[in-house]
A and B are shown apart, each in its own frame.
Chain A
């Protein structure tokens, strides 16, 4: 099956990776064994995941960055995003009002898991979890130092739900 012309239904953004490594606790830590993700309700796990078109992933990233720039990030964050309110609050406090995130380029797209809708949800609905590494630039005008551009590379984990065109 091919997936050209996917229609993105909804995009939920999950965590940019957490804060940097402080010198952590003394006793042993949990080091997860890679395992298949449990399928969400109304979906079954796809054994051979379909490849998501790069254009769809890129559009998703741009959509989220636009939401960040317009102060609408909260609506893109998953319910499972740890401390989502605090993140949004912190951005509102620390980011300049005119700050924008620009996508410079996508480095890699890794599919972490894919699920197909059951009979009730619709077998043409595909839900994918993807890890996307993107090069970004945060741009704003500083009153003292003029135009500022802070480049960086970040990993984002998205859930992309799409309808497969047969």
Chain B
């Protein structure tokens, strides 16, 4: 494809909405919002190309369009159409070349008919439960809500293909179809009956298979001795037929949970039991076969907002085999304001883990301590300290590996020559002993985030020198540098960025990778003619914090007050206030809440969730799934969902290469809530849930809150 065609599409994309704005009656009743981006990147690689973060050199351009059209026919009748298209010549942006429809979705919701319904076609998110289905599909979904006095009823039917893009659907696509009936009373008990089918044609790696999973799920809230309790459970039956070796399989998956809290909302606690048989393997679900889990937790909120939580977990893997593996975890977490007088906030997480199998091929235990602190040191400086220590003892070798790490960082607000922002130097010190590798690592770094009117400038430099003390293992030095500039002029945004990475192993050839990119984005919003959409109820101060209430456009002082009431005083990082706060109660990783905005109005808000371990892909994926499930439980099925690529050891590099995307979005009255793993200039990999007016295309992975290290 020629660059000329790219430019032509850009012109069409730019001209289309403008024509609509100029009064075409065809779209007069529609509110249109969207953006198009044309981006060109040039890559240069020298030295050992196999060790480069950038696999392809040369010129890589693309143009993408993200568009949403909404029509509100009446307060109870509305239609929404959204799509994302790509014209691609970049090996990084997509494996497919040419024109590509990446996302498409039409939703019609009508509440004033005999039976209120919601019908969706295109990209649908089928979600009944983690035991049955929880998956983004290309197909159709219909939800009916028959009106029955005093009862909530919902019937969902769906069918779709498990494919990432709208092109060349293969003959061996995995097909899902399902139905679910939910009945319940508001604040009362509820019951769901669900069934899901899956058909998989034979592929080069798998035989033809058919599956059916059916489940009964219930939830019963009740009160006892001043405690608010909820009993929840699900029992699922799996039936699978396979033309290959596994043949016919039948098995059960069960889940039962009791959780509660006291009337004053200070104490909360819960107990969960799960058991999934060896043959319980629903293709669309998220259950781990042949595993039993017993988990208990209890938490206490102190007067000053500090939260203490203890947990006990026991996982039994390979449950039905002759060699059962048992993993036990005991941990405590303390989160929130450690000292109100010094505005010191942080998270302390300590846990012991023991894992052993019956045959003695695995027998290890580990102790982990993680401490993250932040505190304003002066009016200008905010200090950060992260300490991590882990002792891992493998009794089978035997061997003891000890990792000690300290990251000392600071952020200073800077204002000069019209620029305002934050400079954040940091120093990482790490010592690893045992495990066949003794190493002393030192890593200085500095990040900066600045604004001047419509200009935005972000930069980052980091170096890591590893002094290998193990004989025969070479030292290593890596260096990464990134710079991004953006200029917004009304609905136009111009950007330029560069990235440089260098790797100097002591015993091999050096590698240098360089990328430079330029981009142009056009954003457009056309309200529907004939009256604005009536505003929903204004945000509300809840008893617990919810990102939906920290919406863009609301009073910044009020938003900070809402969070401070629950989480104590926050710490300022440039244009953001940050709190250590356990937003998702089931998640033990460090969580920080941020309200963004340095004037009087909230620009956005964010939840930042650290990974405990991104070095091991399976651990990172498990942590991501756990957070995602907590969000699905809270916010329901996302409006759109994009997942590309598998979890790998270096996620940041994979995102840099365009090989990894994880984004879920929920539309809100005030904008969009997005959850996923964004790419950061400083290379840190973490999960973020953000509430903002809008975002770029999911494939543009550089959407992190850069100002907060």
Contacts and interface: CB of A to CB of B under 8 A. Distances in A.
A20 B542 contact: yes
B646 to A, nearest CB: 25
B537 A23 contact: no
Contacts of B586: 23
B207 interface: no
A55 interface: no
A28 interface: yes
Given A23-B633, A90-B263, A154 B541 contact: yes
Interface in A7-24: 17-24
Contact of A20 (B152, B543, B637): B543
Interface in A83-99: 83, 86, 90, 94
A35 interface: yes
A108 B538 contact: yes
Given A82-B186, A151-B561, A26 B130 contact: yes
A146 interface: no
A26 B255 contact: yes
A152 interface: yes
A86 B629 CA distance: 32
Nearest to B133: A28
Interface string B488-527: 0000000000000000000000000000000000000000
Nearest to A156: B540
Contacts of B264: 94
A73 interface: no
A25 B263 contact: no
B112 A35 contact: yes
Given A32-B152, A82-B187, A23 B118 contact: no
A112 to B, nearest CB: 9
A24 B633 contact: yes
B265 interface: yes
Given A20-B546, A34-B75, A155 B111 contact: no
Contacts of A86: 223
A70 to B, nearest CB: 23
B182 A133 contact: no
Nearest to B542: A20
Contact of B128 (A25, A28, A30): A28
B180 A28 contact: yes
B535 A108 contact: yes
A26 B232 contact: yes
Contact of A33 (B145, B230, B539): B145
Given A24-B634, A28-B129, A28-B636, A33 B118 contact: yes
Contact of B535 (A19, A20, A25, A110): A110
B617 interface: no
A144 interface: no
A17 B234 contact: no
A18 B192 contact: no
A131 interface: yes
B381 interface: no
Nearest to B127: A28
A33 B538 contact: no
Contacts of A35: 76, 111-112, 116, 145, 147
A107 interface: yes
A128 to B, nearest CB: 15
Nearest to B216: A27
Interface majority SS (helix, strand, loop, mixed), chain A: loop
Nearest to B629: A26
Contact of B541 (A22, A82, A152): A152
A32 B219 CA distance: 18
Contacts of A20: 265, 542-546
B405 interface: no
A121 interface: no
Interface in B194-232: 194, 215, 217, 219, 223, 230, 232
Contact of A23 (B154, B255, B630): B630
A154 B263 CA distance: 20
B634 A23 contact: yes
A53 B152 CA distance: 33
B219 to A, nearest CB: 5
B109 interface: yes
A86 B543 CA distance: 17
A83 B187 CA distance: 10
Contacts of B535: 108, 110
B684 to A, nearest CB: 25
A36 interface: yes
Given A35-B112, A110-B535, A154-B541, A27 B217 contact: yes
B585 interface: yes
B190 interface: yes
Interface string B144-169: 01010100101010000000000000
B232 A33 contact: no
A31 interface: yes
A55 B261 CA distance: 40
A31 B144 CA distance: 11
B540 A154 contact: yes
A105 to B, nearest CB: 12
Interface in B531-576: 534-546, 558, 561
Contact of B129 (A26, A131, A152): A26
Interface in B617-641: 629-630, 633-634, 636-637
Contacts of A83: 187
Nearest to B180: A28
Looking at A24, A82, A131, the one whose CB has the most chain B CB atoms below 10 A away is A24
A35 B76 CA distance: 6
A108 B537 contact: yes
Nearest to A108: B538
A124 to B, nearest CB: 25
A110 B152 contact: no
B708 to A, nearest CB: 23
Contacts of A24: 633-634
Interface string B74-106: 011000000000000000000000000000000
B401 interface: no
B151 to A, nearest CB: 10
Contact of A131 (B219, B230, B537, B633): B537
Given A20-B542, A21-B634, A28 B192 contact: yes
A19 B230 CA distance: 14
A31 B546 contact: no
Contacts of A82: 186-187
A22 B261 contact: yes
A132 to B, nearest CB: 9
A86 B226 CA distance: 10
A94 B266 CA distance: 14
A155 B540 contact: yes
11 contacts: A22-B268, A23-B585, A26-B257, A27-B215, A31-B154, A33-B118, A35-B112, A90-B263, A107-B538, A110-B535, A155-B540
Given A17-B542, A33-B111, 5 more contacts: A23-B634, A29-B636, A35-B111, A36-B111, A36-B112
Report, nearest first, the 8 A-B pairs whose CB atoms are least far apart: A20-B544, A35-B111, A27-B129, A27-B217, A20-B543, A33-B116, A133-B538, A155-B540
Interface of A: 17-36, 38, 82-83, 86, 90, 94, 107-108, 110, 131, 133, 151-155
Interface of B: 75-76, 109-112, 116-118, 127-130, 143, 145, 147, 149, 152, 154, 156, 180, 182, 184, 186-187, 190, 192, 194, 215, 217, 219, 223, 230, 232, 234, 255, 257, 259, 261, 263-265, 268, 534-546, 558, 561, 584-586, 629-630, 633-634, 636-637
